[in-house]
């Protein structure tokens, strides 16, 4: 999966070898260079303890994302306040 295809708020399916035994679904909270921070929203019951230990958060490499269900939006770029710039 390419970073350009991922937006904040997207729901994605992932499979990681470490930390989780089964595939899971999460919501993108933050984007990094080659990975994303996910809020884990759906997981297999055998991973319940792992998810609790992770506080429902996990950083995954983009290669671990198998499906992007969408639903997110990119935040609008912040504009500099003209009044503050003039001072």
Per residue in 28-47, pLDDT (tens digit) is: 999 999 999 999 999 999 99
Distance (Å, whole) CA 34 – CA 3: 7
Task: Tell me the torsion sign for CA atoms 74, 10, 49, 34.
Answer: negative
pLDDT of residue 12: 96
Domain-by-domain residue ranges, the chain? Answer: 3-70
Of the pLDDT bands very low, low, confident and very high (cuts 50, 70, 90), residue 51 is very high
Q: Which residue has the tokens 């950083």?
A: 59
pLDDT of residue 81: 54
pLDDT of residue 37: 97
pLDDT of residue 80: 53
7 neighbors 65 (Cβ within 8 angstroms): no
Has domain 3-70 been given CATH number 2.60.40? no
pLDDT of residue 77: 66
């Amino acid at each position: 999966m390419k970073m350009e295809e991922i937006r904040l708020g997207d729901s994605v399916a992932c499979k990681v070898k470490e930390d989780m035994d089964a595939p899971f679904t999460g919501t993108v909270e933050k984007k990094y260079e080659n990975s994303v921070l996910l809020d884990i929203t759906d997981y297999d019951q055998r991973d319940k303890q792992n998810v609790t230990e992770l506080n429902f958060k996990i950083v995954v490499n983009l290669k671990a994302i198998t499906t992007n269900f969408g639903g997110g939006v990119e935040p609008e770029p912040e504009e500099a306040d003209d009044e503050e710039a003039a001072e």
